[in-house]
């Protein structure tokens, strides 16, 4: 039981590993399946975890990208992610972590406001992606985007580092949607 670090292990040859962390097992499983279906030059490995820290007695590869999946329809999923965040090394937030918020469209079901997630992501200086994982097409599109980000953060795209992608995805202080 320890803090998760990004660079404590050597990378595998042409493999990129993503760790999806979220309280909703079924959703994570479906997202993982979609990710494995995407057409990608690197060999993708998808690990799932309900929460952090991970048990330390298992041998696992280096984690290249950490995705925190938050279901906006459940407060518990946010709380569990918030707790997990304590067990992540700060250097992960230099481009190797992102937040994924699902279900923002259906406002009537939301128990967590999307601005909460935006604020959380801003605190950790990490990008936040919105999608609806329960919809097939949206999930596949998101899986593709995640695979793309994973390739970059694993260092498989020449000339682009995880840090540079992070700086590109850093949004300027955008006005909140409520002002519109």
Partner 1 sequence: MHAVMMPQKTGKNYQAQNRPSQGSSSYQTNLSACEVKQKPSDSKENNPMQDDEHADDQDGDVLQIAMEYFEKDPIRSLRSKDKILEKHLITVENVAWKNGLAPETIDILLNVALSGRFGNAVNTRILKCLIPATLISEDSVVKAVSWLCVGKCSGSTKVLFYRWLIAMFDFIDHKEQINLLYGFFFASLQDDVLCPYVCHLLYLLTKKENVKPFRVRKLLDLQAKMGMQPHLQALLSVYKFFVPTLISVSLPVRKKIYFKNSENLWKTALLAVRQRNQGLCPEPRKLMLGPANIRPLKRKWNSHSIIPVLNSSSHTTECGKKEMNLSEYLSSSGSLPLEQLQRFPQLLENIHCLELPSQMGSVLNNSLLLHYINCIRDESVLLRLYHWLSQTLQEECVWYKVNNYENGKEFASFLDTIIRAESFLHEGFYSCEAFLYKSLPLWDGFCCRSQVLQLVSWIPFNNFSEMKPLLFDHLAHLFFTSTIYFKCSIIESLKELLQNWLLWLSKDIHVKPVTDSPLDTSLCESMNSVFKLVHYVGWLSTIGMRLESNSTFLMHFILDFFETACDIYLIYNLPLVVLFPRAIFYSALFTLDASILNQLCYIMHRYHKNLTAAKKNELIQKAKSKLSFSSKTYKEFNCCLTTMVGCLWTSKPFKKGIRFSPETLEKLGVEEHKRSLNLVYHSSLLGYAVSFLLQETPEEKTINLSSIQGKKWNLYLDYLFSEELQGLKLFIESCIRRSSVS
- List interacting residues with partner 1 (CB under 8 A): 104-109, 114, 127, 129-132, 134-135, 137-138, 140-142, 144-145, 148-149, 152, 157-160, 165, 168-169, 171-175, 177, 179-180
Judged by CB, which is closer to partner 1: 49, or 169? 169
Residue 123 Cβ, how far from partner 1 at the closest point, in Å?
A: 18
DSSP state letters, 55-107: PTTS--PPP-EEEEEEETT-HHHHHHHHHHGGGB-GGGGTTSEEEEEE--S-G
Q: How many residues does the chain have?
A: 180
Distance CA 48, CA 83 (A): 16
Judged by CB, which is closer to partner 1: 6, or 127? 127
Judged by CB, which is closer to partner 1: 1, or 179? 179
Angle separating helix axes 25-37 and 136-153, nearest 10 degrees: 70
Residue 10 Cβ, how far from partner 1 at the closest point, in Å?
A: 25
């Amino acid at each position: 039981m320890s803090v998760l670090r990004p660079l404590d292990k050597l990378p595998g040859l042409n493999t990129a590993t993503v760790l999806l962390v979220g309280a909703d097992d079924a959703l994570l499983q479906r997202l993982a399946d979609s990710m494995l279906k995407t057409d990608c030059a690197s060999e993708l490995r998808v690990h799932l975890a309900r929460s952090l820290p991970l048990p330390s007695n298992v041998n696992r590869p280096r984690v290249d990208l950490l995705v925190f999946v938050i279901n906006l329809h459940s407060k518990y999923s946010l709380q569990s992610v918030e707790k997990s965040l304590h067990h992540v090394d700060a250097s992960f937030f230099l481009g190797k972590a992102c937040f994924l918020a699902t279900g923002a469209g259906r406002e009537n079901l939301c128990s967590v406001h999307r601005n909460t997630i935006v604020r959380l992501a801003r605190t950790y200086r990490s990008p936040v992606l919105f999608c609806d994982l329960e919809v097939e097409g949206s999930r596949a599109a998101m899986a593709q985007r995640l695979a793309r980000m994973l390739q970059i953060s694993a260092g498989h795209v020449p000339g682009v580092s995880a840090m540079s992608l992070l700086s590109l995805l850093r949004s300027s202080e955008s006005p909140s949607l409520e002002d519109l």
